[in-house]
Structure 1
């Protein structure tokens, strides 16, 4: 079993939760965070007390192959989460997505190959499928780059898989569907809804509410990474991590309003709408492969699990100290 683990993107939403979970599980964790002059470790600056000081930090940039290789030296496995993920920003600055997501992934698998790393878990996204052509979506669904972001992740996935096929680099590609939970950026729809309600707004500014999504609570996504790390069965595979539960954005808004005991109205904000052909209309995961290969099933599955996850998420966001970190009155690109 790999023991020394490098987590790229450890300073982010999912990465910080994964760092905490692996430390608690007894792993020796090195957290790769984005270098900045403020010496900020992102969400790891606010990690749980029982985890604080129990992991190593490496500040660098996933776009730099030398830094990536230095960070990975001495590690048994790498969980690669570092990426640019905001879809609207990918319309604004697509070149940065190629550098970060595609070339960053190349840097990771190249270093892993050179150093003989025993496991690479590469993070994909359900956005690579685009609008579902059939549901539930299996890993054999066609890939559709409906945004520069999704196109860059398709490229990253193919780079990762090519190293498995070309050099037998032990790569697992994990494909989480729409992860939500505490610490998520307000550029995502669930935090956008919760922070507006928590700030006292009752007329919510949102984009399209008709598309459907398969939301996955962050604790379930984290367990998917741990299962992929600890199992040999997933090497060379692409594996969906989703709840196998489909719900529209509109119904999600109502579920959050019920959890937060709020009467709300929805106002369409034009700047939050994707271009028509870029909107992913439907996502719904088939998670059979994750169950069969990794032994993973969602603890927050179905409508009841979704409501439990929303309640935990809303509780975190409505803590005044947490809410103060968000600008609920502004559109987060």
Structure 2
């Protein structure tokens, strides 16, 4: 009998799809959600889903819930808001429970935002060997860097397997847009473009890869997970406009934004796009390799970007 897997942040955008992917794969799942009303109703009727309502930070019983699982997929993290509590404190609680319960494998839903793209030339290809850094980054990227660092240090100390999937900007119905395109004011979008492609990752692909990784421990490893057909920013915006927004797009050359970011103070109080590290992390013209994803987690389902965006918009309208 195959031991179950556990999923933290199970009612979140990525976690929910991961639980569904696990059930499609025939795996039993222990899910952890903070509030019962945030999870799909049909989970309660599924004998293969064991539901636990808890706050990772405040719980005292997580060790018991993790006993006997073959892997934990850690999706719990904050996109905005309290990164210290919802990302870092939650991860520390999980680490302590993983060690006590002797869980053999942890899979982290990480982020490509941890890469220090300032070390790369324009037009370069980002791979798993590229340097990572938290210096000068936004709160989300800094928290994801520290979360990954915490898990790596503990895996090295206690010897459990750790698979870090550095996901691109995860998208799908109800989360179609991302910060790699540009800032918006009402119906107006400022598209910051200097070339390169948008490092996106369809949420269904993210879930599929997280499940595949949970079934294939390989020491401590890092795998970038991005779509095969990565669009340019103009291609992304052309397809995205089918949802009815934005009504107006104003192109801003990346070179101009870089000049502004060079002459403005590099202080945490400054808007992110006026800080060079954040500007480059979102808009530097790069290409992204997912060769290792296909090698380690394949076969991975992919479809052309235009088809995927059309499908996502259609599905969003029916949700």
- Report the TM-score range of the alignment, normalised by the length of the smaller protein: 0.7 to 0.9
Q: What's 1:27 paired with? A: 27
Q: What's 1:53 paired with? A: 45
Query: What does the per-residue CA deviation read over 1:63-84, in whole Å, with 9 as the maximum and x for residues that have no partner?
Result: 2352433432342221100000
In structure 2, do the counterparts of structure 1 residues 228 and 263 end up closer, same or farther at CA, with 3 Å as the change threshold? closer
In structure 2, do the counterparts of structure 1 residues 204 and 261 end up closer, same or farther at CA, with 3 Å as the change threshold? closer
Offset, 1:238: 0.9
> Which has the higher mean CA deviation after the structures are superposed, 245-254 or 212-221?
245-254
Q: What's 1:40 paired with? A: 37
Q: What's 1:318 paired with? A: 317
Query: Distance in 1 between the 2:176 and 2:64 partners?
Result: 29
* Structure 1 stretches lacking a partner, 5+ long: 90-95, 197-202, 323-333
Q: What's 2:211 paired with? A: 226
Q: What's 1:306 paired with? A: 305
In structure 2, do the counterparts of structure 1 residues 205 and 3 end up closer, same or farther at CA, with 3 Å as the change threshold? farther
Q: What's 1:93 paired with? A: none
* Structure 2 stretches lacking a partner, 5+ long: 252-270
1:141 to 123, 130, 150: 130
Q: Is the 8 A contact 1:255 1:307 kept in 2?
A: yes
Offset, 1:181: 0.8
Query: What TM-score comes out, normalization by structure 2 length?
Result: 0.78
Q: Is the 8 A contact 1:172 1:235 kept in 2?
A: yes
Q: Is the 8 A contact 1:109 1:169 kept in 2?
A: no
Query: What does the per-residue CA deviation read over 1:42-86, in whole Å, with 9 as the maximum and x for residues that have no partner?
Result: xx33x6x6x662122211122235243343234222110000023
Query: Distance in 2 between the 1:314 and 1:162 partners?
Result: 41
Query: Distance in 2 between the 1:315 and 1:189 partners?
Result: 22
Q: What's 2:141 paired with? A: 150
Matched residue SS, 2:220: coil
Q: What's 2:164 paired with? A: 173
1:288 to 285, 288, 291: 291
In structure 2, do the counterparts of structure 1 residues 313 and 284 end up closer, same or farther at CA, with 3 Å as the change threshold? same
Q: What's 2:226 paired with? A: 242
Query: Distance in 2 between the 1:80 and 1:60 partners?
Result: 14
- RMSD (CA atoms): 3.3
> Which has the higher mean CA deviation after the structures are superposed, 243-252 or 148-157?
243-252
Query: What TM-score comes out, normalization by structure 1 length?
Result: 0.75
In structure 2, do the counterparts of structure 1 residues 130 and 254 end up closer, same or farther at CA, with 3 Å as the change threshold? farther
Offset, 1:21: 1.4
In structure 2, do the counterparts of structure 1 residues 253 and 67 end up closer, same or farther at CA, with 3 Å as the change threshold? farther
